[in-house]
Copies of this chain bind each other. A is one copy, B any other.
Amino acid sequence: MNTNQAVITLSCLAQEARLKIFRLLVQTSPAGLAAGEIASRLDMPHSTLSFHLKELSHAGLVKSEQSGRFVYYSTDFSTMNALMAFLTENCCGGEQSCCLPEKHS
């Protein structure tokens, strides 16, 4: 992951429709959902959904697999994990303590 890739990945998620699609796929992973199922769950026109799925695929955030007439989409976690690592890289000069989430008891 480098700056340009990270900007592409973040831009892709920084959009209400795409963020909802991504989170829905995160929650239904690793199985994924067919495009039409995503459209009906999110009440989104097919053309709009298709546009956003293409963006998400291009950014490497989701992957697709055709099965008959259906195209199943699911999360590609490697990109998401690489992004998170990039954002906190060399946190606190490598000390890695100030940037960790606080533990909840």
Q: Which residues of A contact B (CB under 8 A)?
A: 3-4, 6-7, 10-11, 13-16, 19-20, 22-23, 26-30, 75, 77, 80-81, 84-93, 98-102
Contact = CB atoms under 8 A, between A and B. Distances in A.
Given A91-B29, A99-B75, A15 B19 contact: no
Contacts of A16: 3-4, 7
Q: Across chains A and B, which 3 residue pairs bring their CB atoms closest together, nearest first?
A: A10-B14, A11-B14, A81-B101
A9 to B, nearest CB: 8
Contacts of A30: 92, 98
Given A3-B20, A16-B7, A20-B3, A26 B77 contact: no
Nearest to A82: B101
